[in-house]
Amino acid sequence: MSNSTTNFYARSQSFSLSDIIVVATYFLLNLAVGIWSSCRVSRNTLSGYFLAGRDMAWWPIGSSLFASSEGSGLFIGLAGTGAAGGIAVAGFEWNVSTKNIVTMPEYLGRRFGGERIRTYLAVLSLLLSVFTKISADLYSGALFVQMCLGWNLYLSTVLMLVVTALYTIAGGLAAVIYTDTLQTFIMIVGSVILTITGMSLNKIGGFGNLEHVYSIAVPSKIIPNSTCHLPRADAMHLFRDAVTGDLPWPGMTLGLTILATWYWCTDQVIVQRSLAAKNMSHVKGASIFTAYLKMLSFVFIIVPGMISRALYPDSVGCVDPEECVRVCGTEVGCSNIAFPKLVIELMPSGLRGLMIAVMMAALMSSLTSIFNSSSTLFTMDIWKKHRPLASERELLLVGRIVTVILVVVSVVWIPILQSANSGQLYDYIQSVTSCLAPPVTAVFTLAVFWKRANEQGAFWGLMVGLAVGLCRMVMDFVFPRPGCGVEDSAPVVLRDVHYLHFAILLCGITAIVVAVISLLTPPPRPEQVGSHPRNKQLSEGTPCLTMVLENNPELCHSYTFNIHTKTSQTHLYKLQHHKPYIYHNHSCLSPPLCL
């Protein structure tokens, strides 16, 4: 395996002055927005740094949700999978439009009690950040820069990190959300220009001719007595055969729903944006706004990937290992270069710079989100648990150090990522997620819909699910997918069970373990399942107030009341003039902010 910058990375189009001006303008805009947002919200408090002061409206949150989920890994990965297999991968994006659920990261801890589950989820999220998020985004963004500038892959990675980390570490979540809003606009405009204005579609005779041109996109150098060089016959089918399909329909309906529930309802990167909203109405509005934006991915990312395969089958569709190494530096395939190849070859000066800015926007938006959320997880759920009296200064410093450590580990993981899953980045991301996320979905679903589920059942269900999932993930790396024309020697459970089908099985196994152990152990307390009288008196979105002892933030008073009543308003006035307490307004059904 190599990441040489020769041959293919010798650019066929020069990087002109107008391209440089466009990219420089983008960075200046990004810097200006980051500085403005950092000044708008205090960065010297935990609430200001990690939750943007909890004062965000629906449109920047919705934009940030979209930009964070559409990182450079998805631009490269979705386009690459579209180039390799057609439109079925769009199901991963469209699935979100059916999710209208809003959750809180502390929910499972509040629902079951104890600290084991909360700590486990924090550690799991950090692992997923390294394996599927930071490393994938760094690799894909660096690949794009490498193709544009001809730089070494790891030099490009360092450039990405320096630019991204500067305003993330300095600005906190407010800088992340507002720069995401700018980047969402740039991503959509750039992708529209690439797809709609006709530069790529005109090359193949319009969208109506795409299926035909794609079906005959065969590389000139093939492997005898094999069929892997042929485009899939079902490339234009969203639902594919349950056994032979590369994305089988049972997995795309049930398995994908399991993964989507984990990502959109429990993943810290997504949840943290919702926690920054003014109220529940803005959270719901942001979720709906994001769902509509996600519908655009098929047209502006996947279709360009298929167009790239149709126009450049010798590079994007290569199957011969030697040829693939010459083209993109890896033996297992070059579908990941589909999107950047199209940009470099087709876009004129100026617009090429805009698309480079689009990729930079996608990379930076997702990385900043992951950096901020991962540091929040470690700081608040792990470090603060062991050092409850740690000062805000210490917690902020720890969060920034954790960001640096995660980045270093992720860079080390990039060579493994390059050769995984036949070189299809998005396939790799979903495969790893299918091994680790389904147990969380099972526990979360049972926590919401089955009051008898308790902490013992949830914890051991997560442990069993983790053990089974890790076994599958280890086998995935021990027995990588064979190259074209090579016999598959992987065990039957790996060869014949698609990772989306495995996600269904893993979720089911976890649910059974949770149910059995919960029934064999004492039930949860009434206040943990929402049947406590106090929980019924408070309505969703009602403004409430929580008292926090100023000199000991760990002592958060449980006394909460509706501040709209006359009695409460009188009591509120008295409380606010009684020191040494600090008061935080929040929704009655959201957790009080005890920082």
Q: Which domains does the chain have, with CATH numbers?
A: 7-520 (1.20.1730.10), 538-587 (no CATH)
Query: What is the predicted pLDDT for the residue at 80?
Result: 64
Query: What is the predicted pLDDT for the residue at 585?
Result: 42
Q: Are 480 and 491 in contact (CB under 8 A)?
A: no
Q: Are 302 and 90 in contact (CB under 8 A)?
A: yes
Query: What is the predicted pLDDT for the residue at 378?
Result: 81
Dihedral sign for Cα atoms in the order 102, 108, 113, 119: negative
Q: For the chain, what percent of residues have pLDDT higher than 70?
A: 66
Which is nearest to 174 in space by CA: 266, 90, 57, 281? 57
Distance (Å) of CA 69 to CA 252, 329, 385: 18, 27, 29
Q: Are 291 and 96 in contact (CB under 8 A)?
A: yes
Query: What is the predicted pLDDT for the residue at 196?
Result: 65
Buried b (16+ CB within 10 A) or exposed e, 474-511: eebeeeebebbbeeeeeeeebeeebbbbbbbebbebbb
Residue with tokens 């690799």: 139
Which is nearest to 376 in space by CA: 167, 582, 125, 135? 125
Query: What is the predicted pLDDT for the residue at 34?
Result: 66
Which is nearest to 210 in space by CA: 221, 222, 224, 195? 195
Query: What is the predicted pLDDT for the residue at 242?
Result: 84
CA 374 to chain centre: 12
Query: What is the predicted pLDDT for the residue at 131?
Result: 80
Query: What is the predicted pLDDT for the residue at 377?
Result: 76
Query: What is the predicted pLDDT for the residue at 103?
Result: 35
- H, E, C per residue of 78-92: HHHHHHHHCHHHHHH
Task: Tell me which residues of the chain have a pLDDT lower than 70.
Answer: 1-15, 34, 37-59, 67-107, 149, 163-176, 196-202, 268-269, 272, 275-277, 358, 361-362, 364-365, 369, 418-424, 483, 485, 528, 530-595
- Is pTM beyond 0.75? Reply is no
The DSSP secondary-structure symbol of 133 reads I
Measured distance CA(309)–CA(362) in Å, rounded: 22
The DSSP H or E segment spanning 587 is strand 581-587
Buried b (16+ CB within 10 A) or exposed e, 176-200: bbbbbbbbbebbbebbebbbeeebb
Measured distance CA(50)–CA(42) in Å, rounded: 10
Measured distance CA(185)–CA(190) in Å, rounded: 9
Query: What is the predicted pLDDT for the residue at 536?
Result: 41
Measured distance CA(372)–CA(49) in Å, rounded: 9
CA 172 to chain centre: 18
Q: Output the six-digit token pair for 119.
A: 């700590």
CA 275 to chain centre: 17
Q: Name the phi and psi angles at 583, rounded to 5.
A: -120, 135
Query: What is the predicted pLDDT for the residue at 37?
Result: 64
The three-state secondary structure class of 581 is strand
